[in-house]
Chains A and B, each alone.
Chain A
Amino acid sequence: MLNEIFIKPFADMVGAPDFLLQVLWEGLVSGILYALIALGFVLIYRSSRIFNFAQGIMVVFAALTLVGLHAMGVPAWICVILTLGVMFVLAVTIERVVLRPLVGQPDIILFMATIGITLFLIGFGEIIFGGENKVMITSELGIPTDSVLLEPWGGLLILEQKDITAVVVAALLVVALLAFLNKTRMGRAIRALGDDHQAALSVGISLQTIWVLVWFIAGIIALVTGIAWGARAGVSFALEVIAYKALPVLMLGGLESITGAIVGGLMIGMLEKLFEIYWGQPLLGGNTETWFAFMLALIVLLFRPQGLFGERIIERV
C-alpha cells in the first residue's frame, strides 16, 4: 500500500516522461481555462466585493450566443462582435436591474442575487438556444485544428493546435488586462473603487459606469473562455460545472489577486490531473477531479487563510 502511494507513481512518472509531459500539458490547458474564469471573478470582486457566481453561466451564455448567431447564418467574425454587444447589454441590464437597488447590502445578499441571475440565465438560455450540446465554430473563427506531434526522449507528445491557441490567447488577454488595469485611467478607477468605495466616489469616479465596465470585461473574458472550452468539449450547459472549478482557484490564489488567479489556476489544473492519473485512478476509483482542487485549496488555506496571493486580512476592532 505504501509502495502504491509513495513510490510507484513517481517511478511511473520517471519511467514514461513523455506521458508525464502529456498529462502536464492537459492540466496546463484546463488550468488556463480555470484561471480565465477565476479572472472574471477576481475583477468583479475587486471592484465591487460581489462574489459573482454567475461567471460560469456567463461563459455558457456567451458561447451559446456565438454558436446560435452563427447557426442563423451570420459570418463568424460578425458573430463575435454581436456577442460582445450582447454581453454589454447583459452587463448594463445586470447593473441597472439587480445591482443598483442592492448597493450597500451585505455580501451574502449580493452573492445570492448573482445565483438568482445564474438561474435566470440558465432558464433563458435553455428557452432560446435549447439544451442540446452544440459544436463550437472553431475552424470558422480561424482557429487551427491540427495537432503538433513532438517526440521528447523518443516518446510521443500530442499538442492540439487549438489548445496552443487557447494558451496564447489567454496569455495575451491577461497581459492586456494587466496593462489596462495599471496604465489607463479607467483601469486605475477600477482599482480605486476596489480599495475604497467612498473615497473613489468622492474623487468623482462613477460607481455605475465602472460596474458596467467591469461586468462587460468579465463578459469578454467569458466569451474567450467559452470559445476555448467549447472548442475542446462542445457548448452545453454542462460547461457550467467548470465554474465550480474556478472557486478553489480563487481560494488558493486569493480573492483579490489577478496573479493569484493565474498561478492558482495553473497549479490546480496540473496538480489535479497528476493526482487523478497517478493516484486517483489506480487507488481511489477515479473521478477525483471533482473534489481534489477543493481539498488542496482547503489545506493551503489552513496555513494561509487569505490564499497564496490574497490581501492580508487585517481585523480591526
Chain B
Amino acid sequence: MLYRTAGQFKTSYQADQALFPIRQDAVLLGIILIFAWAILPLVASEFAYQTLLIPILIYSLAALGLNILTGYAGQLSLGTAAFMGVGAYACYKLVTLFPWMNPIVAILLSGVFSAGVGVLFGIPSLRIKGFYLAIATLAAQFFLVWLFEKWGWLYNYNASGAIQVPNLEMFGVYVAGPQASSVVQYFVVLGVVTLMTLICINLTRGTLGRSWKATRDMDIAAELIGINLMRSKLTAFAISSYVVGVAGALFVFMWRGAAEPNLFDIPLSFRILFIAIIGGLGSVLGNYLGAILIVGLPVVLNTVPEALGLPISSATVEHLNVMIVGSLIVFFLIIEPHGLARLWALIREKLIIWPFPH
C-alpha cells in the first residue's frame, strides 16, 4: 500500500537504472537522513551518542569497506581490524606531524595509507583463492598489530605504547580529543559516513563495481570477457582498505579517544565480518542493519537483567552476551543466509504487491 508503484512509468533505460527506481525508496531514505541529521541530535543523550549512534555509524563504515572486498569482489578478508589500525595510526602521525592540518582532511588522508598497505597484502590474492586467501589476510592482521606494538615511531615513543588523541580544533570547535563534545563528533562521523556511502554506492553501480561482481561470480569467466583480474582485485583491495582505514581513524579519533595495538586484534576483525555477513554480503544497506544489530544487541541485553530485577553479576551478563550473540549469529545464518538486507528486500517486495499474494 505504502509502496504502491502504480503510475511510476519508466520511459527510458536511465530511469530504469536509476539509484531509486521506486519513488518510495527515495522518500524513505530522505526520512532516514532527516532523522539522522536533524531529529536524533535533538533528542539523543550523551549515553546514546557514545554507546549507540557513533559506534553504529563507524562500524557500518568499516563493514561497508569489508563488504566491497568480500561481498562485491569476493575476496574473503580476516584482516579488517589491522587495516583500521593502519588508518588510526596514520591519522595520529598526520595530526602530530602536521598540527595545522584540518582534522577531517587528516582522517580522509589516513585512508590513503591503509589503501597502500591493503594493496600490498592484496597482491597474494592474484594467486591464492578462497580460504587460503582468508588465512593469508590473517598474516596482515597479526603482522600489523605486532608492528603497532614494536615500531615506536608510530606512537611517538611514548611510555604507554598507546596513542592518545590530542585536542583537535576546526573552525573554533573541538572535533576530537577529550574536550570535544559528542554532538560535534556525531556530526563529523555522520558527514564522513554519508559521503563514503554515497561514493561507494556509485562505485559499486559503475564499471568498476561490475568488474568486481564479475570477478566474484566467476573469475575465469570474468577474465575471458576481458576484465583485467589484477586491476579488479587490487582496486577492490585499495578502495576497501581506504574505507576501512577511514573507519579506523574515526574509530579512534571520534569515539575511543585512545588506542592500544591490541584494540585492533582479531576479535574486532570478526565483529566487522559478522556485521557484513549478518547484514548481507553484496549490499550497502546491510552494513547498517548489521551494525545496528551487533552494536545495539549487547546494549539492550545489558539492560534486560536490571529491568527484570534478576540478581546477575555484570561478569555473567558479559558472558551471557557473548553466548547470545554467538547463537544469534547461527540463528540469523539459518533463517536468512543472505542477511538482513535480503530480509528487507523480501518485505519490500511484499509491500509493493500488497494486498495481493502475487
Contact = CB atoms under 8 A, between A and B. Distances in A.
Nearest to B329: A116
B268 interface: no
Interface centre among B145, B221, B320, B323 (most CB of A within 10 A): B323
B256 interface: no
B127 A305 contact: yes
A156 interface: no
Q: How large is the interface on B (under 10, 10 to 19, 20 to 34, 35 or more residues)?
A: 35 or more
A314 B104 CA distance: 48
Interface in B205-228: 220-221, 224
Contacts of A250: 135
Contacts of A108: 70, 76, 277, 281
Contacts of B149: 287
A288 interface: yes
Contact of B129 (A97, A119, A120, A313): A313
Contacts of A116: 326-330, 333
Given A102-B337, A117-B330, A122 B135 contact: no
A62 B161 CA distance: 36
Interface stretch (A72-80, A83-91, A172-180, A296-304): A296-304
Interface centre among A119, A124, A248, A302 (most CB of B within 10 A): A119
A102 B332 CA distance: 11
A284 interface: yes
B329 A317 contact: no
B319 A126 contact: yes
A123 B323 contact: yes
A255 B135 CA distance: 11
A127 B323 contact: yes
Contacts of A117: 326, 330
Given A290-B142, A305-B128, A101 B326 contact: no
Given A123-B319, A126-B322, A112 B329 contact: yes
B136 interface: yes
Contact of A105 (B132, B136, B337): B337
A51 B270 CA distance: 15
A115 interface: yes
Interface centre among A113, A116, A250 (most CB of B within 10 A): A116
Interface string A113-157: 101111111111011000000000000000000000000000000
Contacts, number: 133
B124 interface: yes
A122 B70 CA distance: 26
A192 B135 CA distance: 26
A288 B146 contact: yes
B146 to A, nearest CB: 5
Contacts of A112: 273-274, 277, 329, 333
Contacts of A118: 326
Contact of B333 (A109, A288, A291, A301): A109
A315 B326 contact: no
Interface centre among B135, B221, B281 (most CB of A within 10 A): B135
B333 A113 contact: yes
A274 interface: no
Dominant secondary structure at the B interface: helix
A15 interface: no
B63 to A, nearest CB: 13
Interface in A279-317: 284-285, 287-288, 290-291, 294-295, 297-298, 301-302, 305-307, 313, 315, 317
B316 interface: yes
B323 A124 contact: yes
A119 B326 contact: yes
A124 B327 CA distance: 11
A119 B323 contact: yes
B128 A301 contact: yes
A106 interface: yes
B99 interface: no
Given A120-B327, A287-B149, 14 more contacts: A101-B334, A107-B131, A112-B277, A120-B322, A121-B326, A123-B319, A123-B323, A244-B142, A251-B136, A255-B131, A297-B135, A302-B124, A313-B129, A317-B224
Interface of B: 70, 76, 124, 127-132, 134-136, 138-139, 142-143, 145-146, 149-150, 220-221, 224, 266, 270, 273-274, 277, 281, 316, 319-330, 333-334, 337
A-B pairs with the 9 shortest C-beta distances? Answer: A119-B326, A123-B323, A120-B326, A123-B322, A294-B139, A116-B329, A291-B142, A116-B330, A291-B143
28 contacts: A102-B334, A105-B333, A105-B337, A108-B277, A112-B274, A112-B333, A115-B270, A115-B329, A116-B326, A119-B322, A121-B326, A122-B319, A123-B324, A248-B138, A250-B135, A285-B150, A290-B145, A291-B146, A294-B135, A294-B136, A298-B136, A298-B139, A301-B127, A301-B128, A301-B136, A302-B127, A302-B128, A317-B224
